[in-house]
Amino acid sequence: MSTFQAPKGTYDLLPPASATYLAVRDALAAPLKRSGYGYVETPGFENVELFARGVGESTDIVTKEMYAFETKGGDRLALRPEGTASVLRATLEANLHKAGNLPVKLWYSGSYYRYERPQKGRYRHFSQVGAEAIGAEDPALDAELIVLADQAYRSLGLRGFRILLNSLGDRECRPAYREALQGFLRGLDLDDETRRRIEINPLRVLDDKRRDVQRQLEGAPLLRDHLCDACRAYHDEVRALLTAQGVAFEDDPRLVRGLDYYTRTTFEFVHDGLGSQSAVGGGGRYDGLSEMIGGPALPSVGWALGVDRTVLALQAEGVTLELPPVTSVFAVPLGDEARRVLFAAVTELRRAGIAADLSYGGKGIKGAMRSADRSGARYTLVAGERDLEAGVAQLKDMESGEQEAVALDKIVDRLRTLLG
């Protein structure tokens, strides 16, 4: 055993469990690929200032959770704690928004990093699939992304998730709400750090998960009571579009997201089978983020769905995904000449799109068949000297135990027929 271990709060994805994570990632991305979203990949680290401006200097992510470091050249960088700021930065840098085809629709997948207290469903390294629609203000875009996430979860067999929906208003109506909220919060029994948040961004206090704080927030003013006519009409249209598509949601007037850039539509996907870490994904509209990081006005909307959390939600519901076999055919050569012949057969099977593997290391028949069992292969292909003299290999169905001799030049055709 190695003297090294994975860093605290991280994990290794290993077979066979890793196959489930890959399937979840593919399922979350599939509706996006059908809806005009192109794939984007950004670096695992960015300039610290990108997240300080975009995510918000008053957020826990920036003040407590971000992995920041200084390079040998003196640059201040951070491992990415979320994906939106990086994707928007990449869009602006490549001038995708100037191509004349707005919105720019992008999706991404990768690992993100936050220094948090490790617990089930909350890791320091985690995986997400995200989507951003950049450069258009349209309630249909907000609704589209929520519908696509709903489709993705349902395609996996999840049924126990809920969609929470709210509006955070915009720069026109939020100042009046901010003032009313600050007046309320200043009268509460809060610690010094939370009181400092009241003056910087009081919405962050509403996102505080501590029970003693939540109890005091019960009478807090609601943003929906302060929405301007334009924001109220926009939110009503998002709700109407979702309802027309049969997507159930719950209005949650206290829902805020943990990032400073959100405006208007905000939403969260929660699963009650996950305990305190119930959110499996979320997102919203961020119309001012481009300007925050030095770009032009580009109203945008997006979400990120947690791969790790989604896997936990599947486990909570007892959903087992149907995964393609890692190996369909396992070849067992008995002797040097048989190894050359079956190596060629396995290569041809793979070229034909059939998952095939070979027993390596000169194992005897018993050891090789144990390897075949562990591989989960449906068929084994065995050949020794006598088989080669007859120009055949022995094909065994590992489920039924039935065995047949197959001509060496007919192996691919026969397995294609058997495997459909």
Amino acid identity, position 355: A
The region that residue 125 occupies, defined by phi over 0 for left and psi between -120 and 50 for alpha, beta otherwise, is beta
Ranges of each domain in the chain: 17-173+227-317, 329-419
**Cα torsion at 93, 95, 101, 106 (round to 10°)?**
-20
Fold for domain 17-173+227-317?
A: BirA Bifunctional Protein; domain 2 (3.30.930)
Residue numbers belonging to the annotated binding site for L-histidine: 82-84, 114, 128, 132, 257, 261-262
Nearest to 105 by CA among 36, 31, 40, 152: 36
Question: Measured between alpha carbons, how far is 87 from 160 in angstroms, rounded to an integer?
Answer: 30
Binding-site residue numbers are 82-84, 114, 128, 132, 257, 261-262
Mean pLDDT (10-residue bins), the chain, 420 residues: 87 92 97 98 94 72 84 94 95 93 96 87 91 97 98 96 94 86 88 84 80 87 89 97 97 79 91 85 93 93 96 95 92 94 96 95 88 92 95 95 95 94
Nearest residue to 110 (alpha-carbon basis) of 93, 88, 125, 92: 125
Residue type, 339: R
Q: Where does residue 59 fall: left (phi above 0), alpha (psi -120 to 50 degrees), or beta otherwise?
A: beta
Residue 387 is predicted with a pLDDT of 96
- The reported pTM is 0.89
Q: Any idea which architecture 329-419 has in CATH? A: 3-Layer(aba) Sandwich (3.40)
Q: What is the CA radius of gyration of the chain?
A: 27
